[in-house]
Amino acid sequence: MSIGEWKIDAEFFLLEQHKECISEALICLKSDVPFCLFQSEVESYLDYYKEVLVSQLKKETDLKLLYFDPKFGDDLSLIINKELEDIDISLVGSSTTDRVRKIIIVDNESFAKNLDWELIDSLRSDLKAANIGAFSIDPRSEHDESELEGGNALNSYKCVKFQKMTKQEQKELKEYISQHPEKDQLSQIVDKILEAKLRQRTNEEYDKSRDQKGIIQRLGSLFSRD
């Protein structure tokens, strides 16, 4: 996690409330119902804190991560079927399992189809023995209700919402950064995260922006999933 030669701790938070959100998500994904969505009106918060969460999950020794990216042609049914190959058919529907917890990380969530969300929901409702959960940025703000019929499947997710910083909080943060020994690099990163890009957009605006680089790409190799 670096930009040039400068290292940044993945536990960097704009607000204490944001830190609490990450803790809440971690607790959820290790619970009996490990399905979690991030919400915020500021898109850059979601992109940034998603990678913070993934970084934290990778440190957990008792779970593994699976990645699903519908934008690049991943087939979720193949991913799930592979995980179910060695499951005892008699355990289907059972809530008791000794299998290692796995979490599906959904990337480019706005490209996921209704069927994808329904498949993930089946892991919660019918295939608990698989011990597979899921995490995503909430895709519903990118669609109107008619587009995302599978939105009902998302109602079972734990929703964690990151508050938007007030102008006063932003001012205080920048004052703090001004006294930081790595103030130039840190200021550059924080300025990008604080770009107040609203999550909700018109269909036309979304079509134009869906292929643009996300906040993490704009920041360089701040996070790595290797």
| Predicted local confidence at residue 219, as pLDDT | 47
Quote the CA–CA distance of 117 and 109 in Å, as a whole number: 10
Task: Name beta bridge partners: 36.
Answer: 135, 158
Report the percent of the chain where pLDDT is more than 90.
Answer: 54
| Predicted local confidence at residue 98, as pLDDT | 82
Whether residue 33 is predicted with pLDDT greater than 90 in this model: the reply is yes
Quote the CA–CA distance of 130 and 102 in Å, as a whole number: 9
Amino acid making up residue 83: E
SS3 content of the chain, % helix, strand, coil (to 5): 50, 15, 35
Whether residue 221 is predicted with pLDDT greater than 70 in this model: the reply is no
Whether residue 19 is predicted with pLDDT greater than 70 in this model: the reply is yes
Whether residue 108 is predicted with pLDDT greater than 50 in this model: the reply is yes
What is the reported pTM?
A: 0.80
Whether residue 35 is predicted with pLDDT greater than 60 in this model: the reply is yes
Of the candidates 143, 120, 127, 114, the one whose C-alpha atom is nearest the C-alpha of residue 210 is 143
> What domains sit in the chain, N to C, each tagged with a CATH number?
2-218 (3.40.50)
Q: What is the three-class DSSP state of 137?
A: strand
Give the sign of the dihedral formed by CA 28, CA 31, CA 34, CA 35: negative
**What's the rounded mean pLDDT across residues 89-111?**
83
Residue with tokens 């200021």: 187
Quote the CA–CA distance of 173 and 4 in Å, as a whole number: 23
pLDDT tens profile 137-181: 999 876 555 555 556 788 889 999 999 999 999 999 989 889 988
**What's the rounded mean pLDDT across residues 33-58?**
94
pLDDT tens profile 46-80: 999 999 999 999 999 999 999 999 999 999 999 99
Amino acid making up residue 60: E
Spell out the residues 6+ positions from residue 219 whose beta carbon is closer than 8 angstroms to its own.
3, 189, 192
Does residue 18 contact residue 161 with C-beta atoms inside 8 Å? Answer: no
